Structure 1
């Protein structure tokens, strides 16, 4: 069976939380739930590092504006991780060239990351922190759920991931237009206020 659906799904998930993907794959492989995971992802040192970084992301990802800084730092990390995991999965199965798998995993992770980062920028316009916590928790649960599902039903999981990616891109385009309008209105109000302060008062 082709490993392409699993590569695509792991790429989508890596764009959201690369460390969770490595950690989950490693655990599933180490516990014998699947033989699709290469041994390099099952190594104890890899699992420990992925676990520590996952905990760091779990905290940073729920703090307003800190999450956007974290996303900026991971603009390279997540696509690279998606490409590496995809290539490793392809090398394990032998049903897909590793270079092609890396391209699929990396490009999918990049698109997914852009959706995540753009959505967070929109969420950060909200004055309260609870929306960040809710969105981050939903993302963590979504990644865990889709990767777990992909281990047993890779094609169905890939269809879900593709649907979520397409939906995310549509929402991102909508939010980008909304943010631009918001910034224009805010800039216009600042300019009007500045001009109003500079206008001399009429004698009373």
Structure 2
């Protein structure tokens, strides 16, 4: 059976929470739920590191503005994770070349990462923190649900992931105005902090 649907689904999920994908796939493989997970993802040290990083993301992802900083730091990590997971899954099944699987997993993860990061920027234009928490929980449950479903019905899970990705991209385009406003405000705050710091430095500097 082709591993392409699982590669696509894991790529989409990696763009949202790569650590959860590694942790879930590793657990499913270690418990014998599936034979499609490579042994490298089932290692105890990999599972422990993935669990710790997942807990870190679970906290950071629910704090306004910190979630956007976290997303920025993971602009490379999530696509690379999606590519590596895709290549490993392909190598395990032998039904898809590692390079093709890496390209599919990485590009899908990059697209879903941009959707996640852009949506969070739009959400952060609102002062209340509850939307961040609700969105984070929904994302975590969505990743867990679709990866679990992919273990039993990878084709259907890939269709759902594709639909969610299309909806997310359309939403991102719709929210782009709010995102640009958010970026301008953040740049303005950085500039104000810089000017304030320079002003303090001038007032505290000893006279010539």
Unpaired runs of 5+ residues, structure 2, are 185-208
TM-score normalised per structure 2? 0.86
Q: Please tell me the root mean square deviation across aligned C-alpha atoms, in Å.
A: 1.3
1:103 alignment counterpart = 103
1:146 matched residue in structure 2: 146
Name the CA distance, whole Å, in 2 between partners of 1:133 and 1:41: 29
After superposition, the C-alpha distances for 1:102-138 in whole angstroms (9 at most, x for unaligned) are 0000000000000000000000011110000000000
3-state DSSP of counterpart to 1:75: coil
Q: What whole-Å deviation, never above 9, does each CA across 1:37-82 have from its counterpart, x for those lacking one?
A: 0000000000000000000000000000000000000000000000
Distance 1:115 1:183 in 2: 16
CA distance in 2: counterparts of 1:112 and 1:25, whole angstroms: 19
CA distance in 2, matches of 1:116, 1:71: 8
Q: Give the deviation of 1:181 after TM superposition.
A: 6.7
Q: Which runs of 4+ in 1 moved over 3 A?
A: 178-184
- In structure 2, the residue matched to 1:32 is 32
State the match for 2:127 in structure 1: 127
Query: Within the alignment, does 1:177 sit opposite 2:166 as a pair?
Result: no
Deviation at 1:177, TM superposition (A): 2.7
Separation in structure 2 between the aligned mates of residue 183 and residue 108 of structure 1, nearest angstrom: 25
Segments of structure 1 that go 5 or more residues without pairing to the other structure are 185-204
Answer yes or no: is the 8 Å Cα contact 2:29–2:37 preserved in 1: yes
Q: TM-score, normalised by structure 1?
A: 0.88
**Aligned counterparts, 1:1-204, within 5 A:** 1-180=1-180
Give the distance between the partners of 2:48 and 2:180, measured in 1 at CA. 42
- Equivalents in 2 of 1:42, 1:83: separation in Å? 18
The SS at the match of 1:49 is: helix
Distance 2:122 2:174 in 1: 10
Q: Structure 2 vs 1, CA of residues 130 and 163 (structure 1 numbering), >3 Å: closer, same or farther? A: same
In 1, Cα distance between equivalents of 2:26 and 2:169: 29
